[in-house]
Amino acid sequence: MDFAHSFALIAPELLLTAAGLALLLVGAWGGDKSARLVAIAAAAALFGAGFMLVPGLHFGVDGPATLAFGGLIKIDSFALFAKALIYLAAIGALMVAPAFFNSAAAGTERGMRAEYPVLVLFAAVGMSIMVSANDFMTLYLGLELNSLSAYVLAAILRRDTRSGEAGLKYFVLGALASGILLYGMSLLYGFTGGTAFTAVRAGLTGEMGIGALFGVIFVLSGLAFKISAVPFHMWTPDVYEGAPTPVTAFFATAPKVAAVALTARVVFEVFGAQVDAWQQIVMFTALASIIFGALGAIGQENLKRLLAYSSINNVGFILLGLAVANEAGVSAMLVYLFIYVAMSLGSFVALLMLRDEDGALFETFADIRGLSVTRPAIAWALLLFMFSLAGIPPLLGFYGKFVVFQATIEAGLVAFGAIAIAASVIGAFYYIKFVKVMFFDAPAGVVTGKSGAAHWALLGLTAAIVSPLGYLLTPSLTDLADKAAASLFLAV
C-alpha cells in the first residue's frame, strides 16, 4: 500500500480535518469572541480544499489510480464533482451564519458560537468520505461523521425549543435509519462475504437470493431516509422548520448532494449487476417524492416548511435521473444537483433576508405579502428562484428538468416521464403562490431590516446562476457531469 499516494488523494479531507481540529482549539481558548474568525478560517479551508479539486475535475480522473488505502476510498471524477458542490454549499452556509446568530433571530442566546463553523467543517469531511467511499465500512464512517455533526447543528440554539426538538427528531429518526442501513449492510455482508463494493458486487451477480434482496432493500431504505425521499421523508419538514435557518440552508444542500451521490455510487457500483432489483424501487420513490412533495407543500403557511417539501419534490426529480440507470441519467442527475443547490441556497438566503430591524426572521406567507413593493430586490430574486424551482423556462431550473427528462425519454421510459412531468405541474401551484403573495397582495410592510453584504453577494450570485445567464454555464457543467458519470461507469 502506497501511503504517500493515498494521502495525496485525500489531501482536501486532510486539510479540512486539520483545519477543523485547529479551529476547535482556537474556539476552545478564544471563546465565542473568536467565532467570526473561526467562520472565516473555516470558509477559507473549504475554499482551499475546493481549489485542490480543480485539476482533477478539469482533466477527469478515473481508473485504479483513484483508489486509496487499499481500495477503501475512491477519489474519481464523480467524487470530485460531488465534493466541489458540497464545499461550495458549506461555504454558503458559513457566509450567512454570523448575521443570523448575532441578531434577534437567534432568540435568547445571541452571538455565534465557535462550534458552528467547526461542525460544518466536520460534516463536510464526513460528506467527502461518503461520496468517495468504496467500501461499506468507509461509507458508514462518513455517513455517521456527517450525521452526528448535523444532529448537533440542528440543535445548536440550545434554549430554543424548536431547535432542540428538531435536533432530537433528527437524531432519533436518523439513528433508526442508520440502523436500517447497517442491518442491510450486514445482510449483504452475510450473503456475499465482503464489505468492499467490488466484493459485494461480485457476490451479487447472477440469481439473487431473498436474503441478499432484503439487504439491497434495507440499504436503499436507509439511504432514502438520508436523501429524504418518500416514503422516508417525514422528518424533513419538522427538522427544516425547527433548525436555525442557516442550518436548514446547509441541510437542504450539502448533505443532500452527498447522500444522492452516495446512493448513485451504491446502486451502480454495488448493485450494478442487479439493475432490475433496484430500478423499480428508485422509480417508485422518485414518482412518490414528486407527487407527495408537491401535495404536502400546498397547505403550508411556513416558508421553511414549504421549502422542505419543495426539497422532497426536487429529490424526486433527482432520483428520476438515477432511475434511468445509465450514464446519461447520472450526468443529468449531477447537472440537476448543481442547479438544485443554487436554487435552494438562494431561496434560503432570501428567507434569511426577511428580517425586521432587530434581525428577527419572518417565515410565513403572511409576512411576505407585497414584498415586491417594500423590498423589490429580494422579491425579484425570490421570483426567479420560485419560477426556476417550478421549472419554467428560461430560468436554469428548466434546464435541470430538461436534462433529466431528456435522459428518461431517451432511455425509453416514456410513460414514467409523462406521469412525472404532469405531476410537476402540481408543484408549480405552490411556487407561484410565492409570487402571488409577494407581487399581487397588499404589502404587509413588516420586512424592514437591512441585510449584510454577505447575504447580498450570495443572493446576487445564486440569482445570476438561476437567471438565463446561467445557460452560459451549461456547456462546462455538462462537460464536468459527463466526466463524473463516466468515471462512475468505468468501474461497472
Partner 1 sequence: MEGFPILSLMMLVPLAGALACLFAGAALARWIALGATLATFALGVMLWSHYQIGGPQWQFTERAELFAGFSWALGIDGIALMLIMLSVFLMPVCILASWDSVQKRVGEYMAAFLFMEVLMIGTFAAQDLFLFYIFFEAGLIPMYLIIGVWGGDNRIYASYKFFLYTLLGSVLMLIAMFWMVAEAGTTDIPTLLQYDFPAGAQTWLWLAFFASFAVKVPMWPFHTWLPDAHVQAPTAGSVILAGVLLKLGGYGFIRFSLPMFPEASAQFAWAVFVLSMIAVVYTSLVALVQSDMKKLIAYSSVAHMAIVTVGLFAFNVQGLEGAMIVMLSHGLVSAALFLCVGVIYDRLHTREIARYGGLAINMPYYALFFLLFTMASIGLPGTSGFVGEFLSLAGIYQTSSLVALVSTTGIILGAAYMLYLYRRVAFGGQVHEDAAAMRDISPREWLMMAPIAASVLWMGVYPESFLAPMRADIAVLDARLAAAAPASDAALTAGAPRAEAANALSHENGANHSSAEEGAH
Q: How far is 405 from 3, CA to CA, in rounded Å? A: 43
Q: Give yes or no for a contact between 347 and 382, defined as CB atoms under 8 angstroms apart.
A: yes
Return the number of other C-beta atoms located less than 10 Å from residue 321's C-beta. Answer: 31
Q: Burial, 217: exposed, middle or buried (Cβ in 10 Å; 0-12, 13-18, 19+)? A: middle
Instruction: Give the Cα separation of 150 and 243 in Å (integer).
Output: 10
Our CB check for partner 1 shows the closer of 278 and 365 to be 365
Instruction: Write out the binding residues for partner 1, residues 455-484 only, by CB under 8 A.
Output: 471-472, 474-475, 477-478
Nearer to partner 1, 51 or 440 (CB): 440
Instruction: Please spell the DSSP secondary structure of 253-313, one letter per residue.
Output: HHHHHHHHHHHHHIIIIISGGGHHHHHHHHHHHHHHHHHHHHHHHHT--BHHHHHHHHHHH
Question: Which cell goes with 369?
Answer: 405579502
Contact status, residue 46 vs residue 254, Cβ threshold 8 Å: no
Q: Whole-angstrom Cα distance, residue 413 to residue 372?
A: 41
Which residue's CB is nearer to partner 1, number 189 or number 380?
A: 380
Q: Grid coordinates in use for 419?
A: 406521469
Q: Residue 475 Cβ, how far from partner 1 at the closest point, in Å?
A: 5
Q: Lay out the site mask for partner 1 across 418-457 (x = CB under 8 A, - = otherwise).
A: x--xx-xx--xx--x--xx--xx-----------------
The CA-based angle 226-227-231, given to 5 degrees, is: 90
Residue placing its CB nearer to partner 1 in the complex, 42 or 339:
339
All cell numbers assigned to 75: 477519489
Q: Cβ 110 to partner 1, closest distance in Å?
A: 37
Nearest 5°: CA angle at 442, between 438 and 447?
Answer: 60
Peptide bond into 376 cis (omega under 30): no
Q: Which of 213, 217, 373, 446 binds partner 1 (CB under 8 A)?
A: 373
Q: What phi and psi values does residue 317 have, to the nearest 5 degrees? A: -65, -35
Nearer to partner 1, 14 or 373 (CB): 373
Backbone angles phi, psi at 65, to 5 degrees: -65, -15
- CB 376 to partner 1: min, Å: 8
- Minimum CB distance to partner 1 smaller for 27 or for 470: 470
Q: How far is the CB of 311 from partner 1 (least distance, A)?
A: 21
Q: Terminal CA-to-CA distance of the chain, rounded, Å?
A: 24
Site string (138-177) toward partner 1, x via CB under 8 A: ----------------------------------------
CB of 314 to partner 1, least distance (A): 16
C-alpha atoms less than 13 angstroms from C-alpha of 207 in its C-beta half-sphere: 2
- Shortest distance in whole angstroms from residue 362 CB to partner 1: 22
Closest to partner 1 by CB, 109 or 410: 410
Residue 403 dihedral angles phi and psi, to the nearest 5°: -70, -40
User: Is residue 343 a contact partner of residue 311, using CB atoms and an 8 Å limit?
Assistant: no
- Least distance from C-beta 429 to partner 1, angstroms? 6
Which of residues 202 and 422 has its CB atom nearest to partner 1 in the complex?
Answer: 422
- CB-nearer residue toward partner 1: 116 or 398: 398
Min CB(460)–partner 1 separation in Å: 15
CB of 382 to partner 1, least distance (A): 13
Count of chain residues binding partner 1 (CB under 8 A): 34
Dig out the grid coordinates for 428 from the structure: 408549480
Site string (323-362) toward partner 1, x via CB under 8 A: ----------------------------------------
Q: Which is nearer to partner 1, 31 or 394 (CB)?
A: 394
Phi, psi values for residue 138, rounded to 5°? -65, -40
Verify binding: residue 279, partner 1, rule CB under 8 A: no
Give residue for cell 460531488: 82
Q: In angstroms, what is the minimal distance from the CB of 340 to partner 1?
A: 17
- CA dihedral in degrees (229, 234, 236, 240; nearest 10)? 160
Supply the minimum distance, in Å, between the C-beta of residue 400 and partner 1. 12
Q: Which of 135, 274, 275, 136 is nearest to 205 (CA)?
A: 274
Task: Give the whole-angstrom CA distance, residue 70 versus residue 195.
Answer: 13
**Mask for 378-417, x = binds partner 1 (CB under 8 A):** ---------x----xxx---x---xx-xx-xxx---x--x
In contact, 191 and 211? CB cutoff 8 Å? yes
Nearest distance from residue 432's CB to partner 1, in Å? 6
Confirm if 184 and 222 have CB atoms less than 8 A apart: yes
**Cβ closest to partner 1, residue 273 vs residue 419:** 419
- Minimum distance between the CB of residue 138 and partner 1, rounded to whole angstroms? 34
Residues lying near partner 1 in the complex (CB under 8 A) are found at 372-373, 387, 392-394, 398, 402-403, 405-406, 408-410, 414, 417-418, 421-422, 424-425, 428-429, 432, 435-436, 439-440, 471-472, 474-475, 477-478
